[in-house]
Amino acid sequence: MITRIFKAIRAKLQQVKMKGKSPNELAEYYRNQFYYLGKNVELFTTHFSTEPYLISIHDNVVVAAGVKFITHDYSIANLARYSHKEFGYYDKVGSIELFDNCFIGAYSILMPNTSVGKNSVIAAGSIVTKHVPDDEVWGGYQHAL
């Protein structure tokens, strides 16, 4: 109970600290936490996974508001519990890489083991579940494409 309270307080302090920062200042704030962060990156979101060191963002990338980076999908733990198998059997952890000049639309979700190619655009509200090639525009839920 106390741990949850401290986590909530820490999250609220983080929001207050980030309020009013420009997208470039926000990127610089997170520079040491990412695996790689290129030049001229604009971040309009603070929804990074518990493992931001698995995220690489190259040059001239724009990430819109509300985008979520999910590098560790813990929801799979329920499947392990109900199937009576070890958690590691189902564990899904992976990196996310955004290459040069790409744009990620508002409220998109980037799942583990995905990448967005050079000069590509991800439409708002999309769920990226696989690798997006260079010079393409994707939208919606990519599993169906």
Residue pLDDT, tens place only, 40-76: 999 998 888 878 899 999 999 999 999 999 998 776 6
What's the pLDDT at 33? 86
Say if 101 falls within a structural domain.
yes
- Cα dihedral 88, 75, 50, 7, rounded to 10, equals -120
Domain that residue 80 falls in:
21-144
CATH number of the domain within which 117 lies: 2.160.10.10
User: pTM for the full model?
Assistant: 0.78
What lies within 8 Å, CB to CB, of 50 at 6+ separation is 71, 72
- Give the other-Cβ count within 10 Å of 29's Cβ: 14
Say if 7 falls within a structural domain.
no
